[in-house]
Homo-oligomer: A and B are copies of this chain.
Amino acid sequence: VPNRPRLNHRAAVAATSREVARLAGVSQPTVSRALNQSPGVSAATRQRVLEAAQALGYVPNEGGRSLVTRRSHRVGVVAAQLGNPFYPALVEPMHRTLRVGGYRTILFTDGDDSPLDIENLLDGSLDGVIITTSQLTSRVPFELHQRGVPYVLVNRTVEETPGGDSCVADNYLGGGLVAAMFVELGHTRIGAIFGPQNTSTGRDRESGFRDELSELGVPLRRHFLVRGPFSYETGYHGIVQLFQAENMPTAIFCANDAIALGALNAAHVLGIQVPQELTIVGFDDVPMAGWPIFNLTTVGTDLTGMAEVGAKLLMERIKDPQLLPRLVVIEPTLVRRGSHSPPKIQG
């Protein structure tokens, strides 16, 4: 007798609807109908099919199903480094909302080091896409539209967004709120650590801040300015750089909370008292901003709400791709915590 491979050495394989059908003594399409609650299946048949499916541990193959239904129940979410607390704060409620709506989240990252490969979004495996990161000149929305993939921009706008929705905070207004508070507190030596100018958030927060400051007649000095990516490191090195000069600002606007957290840490290292010696204000109000150790004054944009709205916009658009483009703007609010104060009286 020749050796036969033992059964348990074979890789287990998934049962198909055909095998369920054989076990239940029905045809394969009947299995499909019974399991999908289709009308016109006798209770007895459905019962037998359910039992057979149960016995075989049957789970319908999503590939086969989506090929014919043209629905994958998967949504792509494009984010940047998850290490930036902004993204978990946004992706998590998005993921939750999508799941409740019956969609799974496929995470794509779009970093400076490894840019997003658009083809990954176009292979028919996604019912829609949420983009939370993209440069103003990105062609991704255009490509998605061309291929008929519903999409929504969250926290970003792009020059050309044909046939897609967006959900953003009024970043221009938010920047202005910070400027107004700085002036109200009596600051005159005002600096900023701005974000990238090729993103809508970077650009709008900056111009809102600048415009309001100039409106109020307070200058923003050139040598109190730093610019960099939306990251902890930008804030950290920004402070180090600004405080190497002899002339130093008393208030700094950070274009997002990641930058502000880096700034707070640098201030800690340099022995700069916040807020007594230096006011630091961020933008986004990520959960960490509320931690007592940071107690960061920041501009809140209801990230959870923004994520939920974004997810809902997308699910609606998936249901009805003909919807006209919609734009939801979230009103930012100043969250006054403990990292701001009037400037110290100077000698």
0 or 1 for each of A73-89: is its CB under 8 Å from B? (1 = yes): 01000000111000111
0 or 1 for each of A249-292: is its CB under 8 Å from B? (1 = yes): 00000000000010011101100000000000000000100011
Distance (whole angstroms) from the CB of A142 to the closest CB of chain B: 11
Contact B13 A148 (CB under 8 A): yes
Known: A104-B120, A105-B107. A88 touches B92 (CB 8 A): no
Q: Which of B12, B114, B123, B293 contacts A268 (CB 8 A)?
A: B293
Main secondary structure of the interface of A (DSSP, over half): mixed
Question: Which chain B residues lie closer than 8 Å to A63 at the CB level?
Answer: 63, 66-67, 72, 124-125
Which of A20-28, A54-62, A174-182 is found at the contact surface with chain B? A54-62
How many subunits of this chain does the assembly comprise? 2
Q: Which of B11, B59, B145, B291 contacts A119 (CB 8 A)?
A: B59
Distance (whole angstroms) from the CB of A118 to the closest CB of chain B: 9
Question: Which chain B residues lie closer than 8 Å to A326 at the CB level?
Answer: none
Distance (whole angstroms) from the CB of A53 to the closest CB of chain B: 11
> Is A220 positioned at the interface, with any CB of B under 8 Å from its CB?
no
Contact A91 B82 (CB under 8 A): yes
A61, A269, A287, A293: which has the most chain B beta carbons within 10 Å?
Answer: A293
Distance (whole angstroms) from the CB of A122 to the closest CB of chain B: 4
> Is A217 positioned at the interface, with any CB of B under 8 Å from its CB?
no
> Is A198 positioned at the interface, with any CB of B under 8 Å from its CB?
no
Known: A12-B147, A14-B147. A122 touches B59 (CB 8 A): yes
Contact B322 A11 (CB under 8 A): yes
With CB as the reference atom, state the residue of chain B lying closest to A291.
B265
Question: Which chain B residues lie closer than 8 Å to A264 at the CB level?
Answer: 293
> Is A47 positioned at the interface, with any CB of B under 8 Å from its CB?
no
With CB as the reference atom, state the residue of chain B lying closest to A264.
B293
Question: Which chain B residues lie closer than 8 Å to A266 at the CB level?
Answer: 292
A64 to B63 CA separation, bound complex (whole angstroms): 7
Question: Which chain B residues lie closer than 8 Å to A83 at the CB level?
Answer: 88-89, 92, 287
Question: Which chain B residues lie closer than 8 Å to A124 at the CB level?
Answer: 14, 59, 61-64
Question: Which chain B residues lie closer than 8 Å to A294 at the CB level?
Answer: 293
> Is A109 positioned at the interface, with any CB of B under 8 Å from its CB?
yes
Contact B269 A292 (CB under 8 A): yes
Contact A81 B92 (CB under 8 A): yes
> Is A95 positioned at the interface, with any CB of B under 8 Å from its CB?
yes
> Is A99 positioned at the interface, with any CB of B under 8 Å from its CB?
yes
> Is A146 positioned at the interface, with any CB of B under 8 Å from its CB?
yes
Contact A64 B67 (CB under 8 A): yes
Question: Which chain B residues lie closer than 8 Å to A64 at the CB level?
Answer: 67, 124
A15 to B61 CA separation, bound complex (whole angstroms): 24
Distance (whole angstroms) from the CB of A55 to the closest CB of chain B: 13
Q: Which of B12, B108, B143, B293 contacts A265 (CB 8 A)?
A: B293
| Known A61-B67, A96-B114, A265-B292; further 16 A-B contacts with Cβ < 8 A | A13-B148, A59-B124, A61-B123, A67-B67, A74-B106, A82-B82, A82-B88, A82-B91, A83-B92, A95-B109, A104-B106, A232-B291, A266-B292, A268-B292, A268-B293, A269-B292
